């Protein structure tokens, strides 16, 4: 994409979140980066960046310009791909849970019905996918949790139970427990950016319990490793019902029976609101036949 070098530098600065890292990526000096940003702001007669105590922050105008340039850049890359490969490209995002346990039927169906379309699948957590959608780096995404209806359109797919689990040999297993019983254990939890972390934190906060009340909190990004650690009785955790069904059947993991309400997480198919994105991406998927509905909570 043919962008003025000031805009290219601005994009790298926004993505790096500081001038030093941007200078390293662009193989420039930091004063040269600062000078280009000053020139860009003078040219547009807008304040795009503020720096306080060496911390860089985008202004409202800076955030808007970043989204605008990123969207233009991604749109051109997509159009060029279609032109050079003589076929359209669909950029799809999915969370690790949806990608591993639920996505295959939808992709199989889509590829069977759209043999002339190429797909690129990106697997990241929900906040990262939503950010990519806003920047035009994705056409649609399958995410965990709800979205802002003013920004995104969404199609509800199903609810998924988020269950507390422990090792079968744990002292907590096989009996109804209160939340107070759990905090004496170590908690093994997904990363703070994940939907699971957010849902668990909110669930306990509503019941006046902080995650810091647990004996220890261990953050692990990989769900399979979390299952292994819990199976070895290194603590308790929360995972989706669908991803522990095999282990529960094999009796290597045990759901904890709480005398509290369950945690239910909605799964949604999302894309930018039609006000911002004219193509109705969802029409390319026959979601009505998607077999997620077989196991609705």
The residue among 69, 61, 72, 56 whose CA lies nearest residue 23 is 56
pLDDT at residue 45 greater than cutoff 80: yes
pLDDT of amino acid 280? 44
pLDDT tens per residue across span 234-260: 999 999 999 999 999 999 999 988 877
pLDDT of amino acid 274? 62
Q: How far is CA 244 from CA 18, 229, 247, in A?
A: 41, 13, 5
pLDDT tens per residue across span 58-84: 998 988 888 888 777 777 776 776 667
Mean pLDDT, all residues of the chain: 84
Q: Which residues contact 75 (CB under 8 A, 6 or more apart)?
A: 136
For the chain, what percent of residues have pLDDT higher than 90? Answer: 39
The residue among 149, 122, 153 whose CA lies nearest residue 269 is 153
Q: With H, G, I as helix, E, B as strand and everything else as coil, classify residue 209.
A: coil
pLDDT of amino acid 218? 96
Name the most confidently modeled range: 3-12, 132-141, 214-223: 214-223
pLDDT of amino acid 296? 33
pLDDT at residue 278 greater than cutoff 50: no
Q: Which residues contact 167 (CB under 8 A, 6 or more apart)?
A: 173, 230, 231, 232, 233, 252, 253, 254
For the residues 43-57, what does the mean pLDDT come to? 87
Q: How far apart are CA 109 and CA 120, in angstroms?
A: 15
Least confidently predicted of 29-43, 138-152, 209-223, 269-283: 269-283
Strand 253-255 and strand 236-240: the pairing is: unpaired
Q: How far apart are CA 143 and CA 124, in angstroms?
A: 9
Give the pLDDT band of residue 273 (cuts 50, 70, 90): confident
pLDDT of amino acid 30? 87
pLDDT tens per residue across span 196-226: 999 999 999 999 999 999 999 999 999 999 9
pLDDT of amino acid 128? 92
pLDDT of amino acid 70? 78
Q: Which residues contact 243 (CB under 8 A, 6 or more apart)?
A: 97, 100, 101, 223, 227
pLDDT of amino acid 143? 95
pLDDT of amino acid 81? 66
Give the pLDDT band of residue 164 (cuts 50, 70, 90): very high
pLDDT at residue 179 greater than cutoff 60: yes
Strand 236-240 and strand 186-189: the pairing is: parallel
């Amino acid at each position: 994409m043919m962008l003025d070098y000031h805009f290219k530098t601005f994009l790298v600065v926004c993505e790096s979140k500081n001038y030093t890292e941007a200078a390293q990526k662009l193989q420039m000096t930091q004063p040269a980066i600062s000078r280009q940003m000053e020139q860009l702001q003078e040219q547009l007669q807008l304040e795009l960046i503020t720096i306080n105590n060496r911390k860089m922050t985008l202004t409202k105008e800076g955030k808007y310009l970043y989204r605008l340039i990123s969207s233009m850049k991604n749109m051109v890359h997509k159009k060029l791909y279609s032109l050079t490969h003589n076929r359209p490209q669909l950029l799809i995002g999915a969370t690790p849970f949806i990608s591993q346990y639920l996505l295959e039927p939808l992709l199989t169906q889509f590829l069977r019905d759209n043999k002339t379309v190429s797909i690129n699948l990106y697997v990241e957590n929900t906040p990262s996918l939503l950010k990519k959608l806003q920047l035009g780096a994705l056409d649609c995404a399958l995410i965990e949790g709800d979205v802002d209806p003013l920004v995104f359109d969404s199609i509800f797919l199903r609810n998924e139970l988020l269950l507390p689990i422990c090792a079968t040999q744990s002292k907590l297993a096989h009996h109804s427990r209160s939340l107070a019983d759990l905090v004496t254990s170590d908690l093994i939890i997904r990363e703070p950016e994940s939907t699971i972390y957010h849902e668990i934190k909110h669930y306990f906060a509503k019941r006046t319990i902080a995650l810091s009340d647990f004996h220890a909190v261990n953050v692990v990004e990989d769900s399979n490793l979390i299952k292994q650690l819990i199976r070895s009785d290194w603590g308790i955790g929360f995972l989706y019902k669908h991803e522990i069904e095999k282990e529960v059947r094999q009796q290597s993991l045990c759901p904890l029976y709480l005398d509290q309400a369950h945690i239910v997480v909605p799964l949604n198919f999302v894309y930018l609101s039609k006000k911002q994105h004219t193509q109705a991406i969802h029409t390319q998927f026959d979601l009505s036949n998607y077999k997620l509905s077989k196991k609705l909570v």
